[in-house]
Structure 1
Amino acid sequence: MAFVIYRRMSSTSQAKPTGTKSALGDSRRIIFKLAALFSLDSFGGGFAVQSIFALWIFRRFDLSVSTLGVVFFATGMLSAISSLLSVRIAKRIGLVRTMVFTHIPASVLLIGVALSPNVWLAVTMFILRGLLSQMDVPVRTSYVMAVVQPSERAAAASVTNVPRSLASALPPIAAGWMLDQSRFAWPLLICATCKIIYDFLLLWQFRHIRPPEEQ
């Protein structure tokens, strides 16, 4: 049935090529810089993925699995809400500032989690971090799409996303080794440090590169 429907489709209903190249052109330098910075952010994030956090809090505070499940649920709900809030914040202060000024407090909270003397303080700060840590995700995508030409968007998405995925692959190995050697939250501190460095570099290099709607 699907084959018959496909054969009857009019050629006019199919998208026509625009004749423009999708590879990066004038935006190449900007996108490569963003890809490098996003990779640093993703590299740091690889030290504090949920599995690493779960392993650390089990070893450090002996938190029950059921309680940790509730913690992850609350964190996920706040992360979803934060995606909606980030749009309003971006309209007020701009895309780059939204990425930076929501990300740094999230990293500070992660440092607080690592240094917490008891489990409930650690859990509270981890949940609060959930409200901020993913707020930059939709804004980051919007910024990348805004600073390139429409014909470059597919290439820009590929160049910025693939290195991020690769950069996050290795840190869990190092984080697991660290937790095997010590109960101290070295992976969380490394994550927060990398992310704060990323935030300051992003603000320094891109605070004056604004998308058309902010000019």
Structure 2
Amino acid sequence: MQTLEDPAVTVGQARLARLLLPAGVHAGALPLLVGRALRGFCDGFIAVLLPAYLLALGFAQLAVGLVSSATLIGSALATILVGILGHRYPQRRLLLLAAALMAATGIGFAGLSALWPLLLVAFVGTLNPSSGDVSVFLPLEQARLADSATSEARTALFARYSLTGALSAAIGALAAALPGWLAAQLGVSFLGAMRAMFMLYALTGVALWFLYTRMPEPEPHVASVRTPLGPSRRIVTRLALLFSVDAFAGGLVVNSLLALWLMQRFGLSPGAAGQFFFWSGLLSAGSLLVAVPLARRFGLLNTMVFTHIPSSLCLIAAAFSPSLVATLVFLLARSALSQMDVPTRTAYVMAVVTPPERPAAASLTAVPRSLAAALGPTLAGGLLAMGWVGAPLVACGLLKIAYDLALLGAFRRIKPVD
């Protein structure tokens, strides 16, 4: 493991690492957290602006679901390739390729107006319509992070990683108000201002490319032990199947569809929706901080399950709420609970497999999640187009509760080994 005293680590990097990273984590993890912050910022405003952008282009609600599904399917297939072939190539090279793809995605969405070309760019690109990270970056960064920390520090590092994404996504959601401000102050069209936001997304991909070029390569003995999934295959397969149920449910209310639901039901503007997602993101970030001490006291699995069920009940209540204020209260309460399972779930997967299997385990648990989640947005978009406005939220809540109970029943006797 690279330490803060290694020659490859500069004095500035060491100081930042001591400030931003948990104890027991080496400085090589710092670029990954910075990159997560940049991507989270873009994900924050893209999730809110995507439905408004597609509606401004003249498409119906179903198109929002189709584009969201295309992004998730493409991410899933890219993650499959990483799981199968990723151990053969340096992780930094794959991250550089992903950053270049992010830049191309932003340029494509900024310059295209027809649905089928947009669907193609969404499929091959890195756009993220959800609150979490579902892109090809995820398994690459998770495996690198797992190698960067001791077993005692791993949960805290994943919580810090998720916290970074949540905070930056919350700030990014506020940036969804920029197109309206640009249209009012500079006289540009609202559509043109939204295209500029996609160019900002592309420029962020360029910034990530330069960031990853400075990321140190892992030590040779670390890179050489990465192998395909082996003795832990049965456990990982069972986890992946259950995670896919959770992901399908989450796909029904990805941020883009939730923003569309708020815009259609209550008439919220993109700027107002962005303010809601800002506060929602802050609460989610706070829940990530609470997850670590809860996991230490009650265990990873119990923390995952018993914080998730109340959040699903809040989502169901929001679907039946008659007023905007009550709906937002229920949704904010959900945000305060729903993300506590994110770092604990990742840490649990990394802990029940052997270290050489971690890249494959990260990929093979992420793939079913992405594939299952990809089905949800199209279904939700169709339900919204048919006027069944509360159905996606109710279905999501019920499925997530079923997932939590099944996960607890199947894994309550299986303890992490690392």
So what's the TM-score if we normalise by structure 2? Answer: 0.46
Could you say what secondary structure the match of 1:48 adopts?
Answer: coil
- Amino acid aligned to 2:282: M
Structure 2, unaligned stretches of length 5 or more? Answer: 1-217
Inter-CA distance 67–18: structure 2 relative to 1 (3 Å threshold): closer
Question: Displacement, 1:47?
Answer: 0.2
Q: 1:63 — aligned with what?
A: 268
Moved runs in structure 1, 4+ residues, more than 6 A? none
Farther off after superposition, 198-207 or 174-183? 174-183
Q: 2:310 — aligned with what?
A: 105
Kindly indicate whether the alpha-carbon contact (under 8 Å) linking 1:59 and 1:183 is maintained by their aligned counterparts in 2: no
Question: Displacement, 1:19?
Answer: 6.3
Inter-CA distance 201–66: structure 2 relative to 1 (3 Å threshold): same
The correspondence for 1:132, drawn from 307, 317, 337, is 337
Q: In the aligned structure 2, how far is the partner of 1:18 from the partner of 1:64?
A: 48
Q: 2:40 — aligned with what?
A: none
Q: 2:220 — aligned with what?
A: 15
Q: 1:84 — aligned with what?
A: 289
- Amino acid aligned to 2:295: A
Inter-CA distance 19–75: structure 2 relative to 1 (3 Å threshold): closer
Kindly indicate whether the alpha-carbon contact (under 8 Å) linking 2:263 and 2:273 is maintained by their aligned counterparts in 1: no
Percent of residue pairs bearing the same amino acid type: 50
- Amino acid aligned to 1:139: T
Q: In the aligned structure 2, how far is the partner of 1:19 from the partner of 1:173?
A: 41
Q: In the aligned structure 1, how far is the partner of 2:388 from the partner of 2:332?
A: 21
Deviations 1:12-47 (A, max 9, x none): x95136865622222111000000111110000000
- Amino acid aligned to 2:279: A
Deviations 1:188-210 (A, max 9, x none): 11111111111011000001111
Aligned residues: 201
Q: In the aligned structure 1, how far is the partner of 2:255 from the partner of 2:282?
A: 15
1:187 and 2:369 are equivalent in the alignment: no
Q: 2:112 — aligned with what?
A: none
Inter-CA distance 26–71: structure 2 relative to 1 (3 Å threshold): same
Structure 1, unaligned stretches of length 5 or more? Answer: 1-12
- Amino acid aligned to 1:132: L
Q: 1:196 — aligned with what?
A: 401
Inter-CA distance 81–17: structure 2 relative to 1 (3 Å threshold): closer
Root mean square deviation, CA, Å: 1.7
Question: Displacement, 1:114?
Answer: 0.4
